[in-house]
Each structure stands twice: as structure tokens, then as C-alpha cells.
Amino acid sequence: MNGHLEAWIDAYLDGELSITLKRQADAHLARCQSCRDLVAERKNLTALLQGFPPASGLKPGARFVAEVELQLKPRREAARLRSQVMYLSWQFFPVVLLLALAFVQTVSTLSSIVGVIPGANQILANRATLLPGSPILSIEVSDLFNILGVFNPLGWNLFTGIAAVLVISLAYVSWLAGWWVLNRRLAASLG
């Protein structure tokens, strides 16, 4: 805290300053007449503002509550459950991503172990051609997947691992963006 108290005066009077800052403020006030005048003015203002009294002549509480209850639209149970399921799914999405990342890391590690065993790659390559799924793809796509080792998890190479981590990262960033947008929309909807 340097100089006069103008910027801190409200926090000082509202009891929002830390003990250290309050001591500094007290020390400054002891030697600064203009800041003491400012404190007096603020206190005077706070007292004066009480001249804007709370609302009076209100309708009885029971009537107010009854009028509100009459205007409440029924909430559907299905909508409530759907909302809860959506909320939980949304909350657990990062956990799913974390599990996916753990899976990718495990497979990559196993692949590197298999890579150093002599002849293991050839055996896995032969088995990969027997795996279902590849015949329904075009040759080019099938070849690409074979190169990446998609149909043969234990034969994943470096590129497959990097691609998987990139996809997971992208999904996480999208989740963060969605979370931010959702919060902004929620804040706006409350208005």
C-alpha cells in the first residue's frame, strides 16, 4: 500500500483488508488528515444511504408465495432424469478420456516390448490379416490402418500412439470449450 488510501478506503471500512494491510492503513491514517477526512465522509455516506429504506406496503407473504406457486410450470420427471444423466455424463467425460489415455499408454508400452522380441512382428502381421473389419474397408484405407497398426493393437507404432494421444487431447480441449460455452449460456439464461 503506497500513498493515500483512496483505492483501499472501501475495503478498509468494509473489513475486507488483510491484517497486514489494515495495520498499514491504520498507520497511514494516524498521520494523514485528508485520509481521515475521507474515512469520515465514507462513514457519513454509509449512514446517509440508510435513508433509502426497504420496500414498504408489500402484499402479505402468504399471498406472494401463493401467486408464485400458481405460476410455476410443472417439471417433467423424464426431463429431470435426462438432465441429471446428461450432467453426470458430462462430468465423467474427462474420466473416460483419462482411461483412454491410460489404455493408449499401456498398448504403446506393450507394443514396444513386443517390438524387441525377435519374429514377433511377423507373427502379429500374419494374424492381423485374419482380424475381422479390414475386408469391409477399401484397400487404401485398410492399408493405411495396417500401417498404423489399428487392427493390431500390439503392433502399434509410434505414429499410432501419437495420433491417439492427439485425438484424446483434442477431445479434452473440445470438452473444455464446451464447458466454457455451457457456463456462459447458463449465466445468460439466468438473466
The whole-angstrom separation of Cα 35 and Cα 180 is: 43
Q: Does 136 bind another protein (CB under 8 A)?
A: no
- Closest among 98, 101, 107 to 157, alpha carbons compared: 107
Point out which span in 21-29, 107-115, 167-175, 183-191 binds another protein (CB under 8 A): 183-191
For another protein, the closer of residues 12 and 156 by Cβ is 12
Rounded Cα–Cα distance for residues 128 and 153 (Å)? 9
Instruction: Tell me the C-alpha distance between 139 and 1, whole Å.
Output: 72
> Quick one: which of 3, 23, 27, 46 contacts another protein (CB under 8 A)?
46
Q: From the CB of 39, what's the least distance to another protein, in Å?
A: 12
Q: Nearest-CA neighbor of 179 among 91, 96, 95?
A: 91
Interface with another protein in residues 65-124 (CB under 8 A):
65, 67-69, 71-75, 77, 80, 83-84
Express the helix, strand and coil content of the chain in percent, nearest 5 each: 75, 0, 25
| Cell digits of residue 34 | 485528508
Task: Please select the residue that binds another protein; options are 2, 20, 33, 59, rule is CB under 8 A.
Answer: 59
Note the residues at the interface with another protein (CB under 8 A).
6-7, 9-11, 14, 16, 41-42, 44-59, 61, 64-65, 67-69, 71-75, 77, 80, 83-84, 186-187, 189-191
